[in-house]
């Protein structure tokens, strides 16, 4: 079977490509390299044994996507391609709607075309969508930990752009089912993704970097002067925000598990996480333990819109598919990130 991975040169997408290759799948990775890394693809090619095709293209190019789906007889699409900075989405909302929502519309049209193209071998049968907890907005306390039944009320364009994608997929699938197409899809909503491939082949590299663990490690490596904590007076045990940190390999394992479980005509929604939250201070302490290094921490005021606690209730996917995150110890999560950063302190950058 051939699987298309959109955003395949990005952090999460590249880990999906690696897992699929290790499982013996053929993969078509599509990425416009705006924030993805060609170097990640080059590393993946070393273990691909000829089973990886990389196309540097925009998912919003519908005709090209339709051609790729047909040419490679793609049966499953894992759709990760998206811009994902909340603050940036507030200052550039149309860019997010075009890149996230608009490109997803083009992808759905390409999937529809694959059903009508005789060269596509029947066309795409499954779509696994990388959604987000941002679609829930700021849930009231009774919805913490967050279940799938929590109302979806985004508070920023990023969250809306992803929720609109879910709504389009729902309506698109309903039409497919009425037309008796064997099409199924899933939306996986997750929280803070962390860590790197345990072997160290690929890792996390964002520009700009905003994720807590990499920022801490950059301070350890002397690339930043200090880490800033945004708020120390929240109603949490240590006063700092609590979030759900799921290891990237566990996250991808969930995607593969859902991909295999989808039956024709099904749709599934799952929240992915470890099921309990870790505070900013707990992550900082973990980084200090793992690296053996102390580093400068600056305590600052709260950022607008940061809820005290956000973490998943993953019981639904556990009950349905027997999936649970395996790497839940923060030191183990940080250790895989530190392994990558020690070997590649500048990530994929050559300089």
Q: Residue 22, Cα to own-chain centre: how many angstroms?
A: 19
The Cα angle at residue 287 between residues 306 and 270, in degrees rounded to 5: 50
The Cα angle at residue 5 between residues 88 and 208, in degrees rounded to 5: 25
Residue where the block lists tokens 């196309």: 55
The CB-based long-range contact list for 116-124 (8 Å cut-off, 24+ gap) reads: 117/66, 117/69, 117/70, 119/70, 119/71, 120/69, 120/70, 120/73, 120/74, 121/73, 122/75, 123/69, 124/69, 124/74, 124/75, 124/76, 124/77, 124/183
Task: Note the pLDDT tens digit of each residue in 13-51.
Answer: 999 999 999 999 999 999 999 999 999 999 999 999 999
Residue 304 pLDDT: 81
Give the sign of the dihedral formed by CA 336, CA 339, CA 343, CA 349: positive
The model's confidence at residue 206, banded by pLDDT at 50, 70 and 90, is very high
Task: Note the pLDDT tens digit of each residue in 159-204.
Answer: 999 999 999 999 999 999 999 998 999 999 998 999 999 999 999 9
b/e per residue, 296-323, with b = 16+ CB within 10 A?
A: eeeeeeeeeeebbbbbbbbebbeeeeeb
Q: What is the mean pLDDT of the chain?
A: 96
The model's confidence at residue 121, banded by pLDDT at 50, 70 and 90, is confident
| pTM tops 0.95, yes or no | yes
Residue 303 pLDDT: 84
Q: Which of 11, 96, 136, 158 is catalytic?
A: 158
Let me know if 158 is a catalytic residue.
yes
Distance CA 305, CA 61 (A): 34
Residue 241 pLDDT: 96
Residue 178 pLDDT: 92
């Amino acid at each position: 079977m051939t699987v298309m991975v959109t955003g395949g040169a990005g952090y999460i997408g590249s880990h999906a490509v690696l897992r699929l290759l290790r499982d013996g799948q053929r993969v078509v990775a599509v990425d416009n390299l705006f924030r993805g890394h060609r170097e990640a693809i080059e590393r993946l090619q070393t273990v691909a044994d000829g089973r990886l095709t990389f196309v540097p293209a925009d998912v919003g190019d519908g005709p090209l996507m339709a051609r790729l789906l047909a040419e490679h007889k793609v049966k499953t699409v894992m759709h990760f391609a998206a811009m994902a900075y909340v603050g940036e989405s507030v200052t550039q909302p149309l860019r997010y709607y075009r890149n996230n929502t608009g490109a997803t519309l083009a992808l759905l049209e390409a999937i529809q075309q694959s059903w009508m193209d005789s060269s596509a071998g029947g066309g795409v049968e499954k779509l696994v969508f990388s959604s987000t907890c941002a679609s829930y907005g700021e849930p009231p306390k009774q919805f913490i930990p967050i279940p799938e039944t929590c109302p979806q009320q985004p508070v920023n364009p990023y969250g809306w752009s992803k929720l609109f994608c879910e709504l389009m997929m729902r309506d698109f699938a309903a039409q497919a089912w009425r037309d008796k197409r064997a099409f199924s899809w899933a939306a996986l909503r997750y929280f803070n993704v962390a860590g790197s491939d345990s072997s160290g082949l690929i890792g996390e590299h964002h520009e700009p970097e905003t994720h807590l663990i990499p920022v801490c490690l950059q301070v350890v490596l002397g690339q930043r002067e200090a880490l800033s904590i945004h708020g120390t007076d929240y109603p949490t045990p240590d006063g700092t925000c609590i979030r759900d940190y799921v290891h990237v390999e566990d996250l991808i394992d969930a995607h593969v598990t859902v991909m295999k479980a989808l039956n024709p005509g099904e749709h599934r929604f799952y929240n992915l996480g470890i099921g309990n939250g870790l505070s900013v201070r707990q992550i900082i302490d973990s980084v200090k333990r793992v690296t053996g290094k102390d580093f400068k921490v600056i305590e600052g005021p709260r950022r607008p819109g940061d809820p005290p606690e956000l973490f998943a209730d993953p019981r639904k996917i556990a009950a349905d598919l027997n999936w649970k995150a395996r790497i839940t110890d923060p030191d183990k999560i940080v250790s895989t990130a530190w392994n990558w950063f020690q070997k590649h302190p500048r990530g994929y950058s050559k300089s």
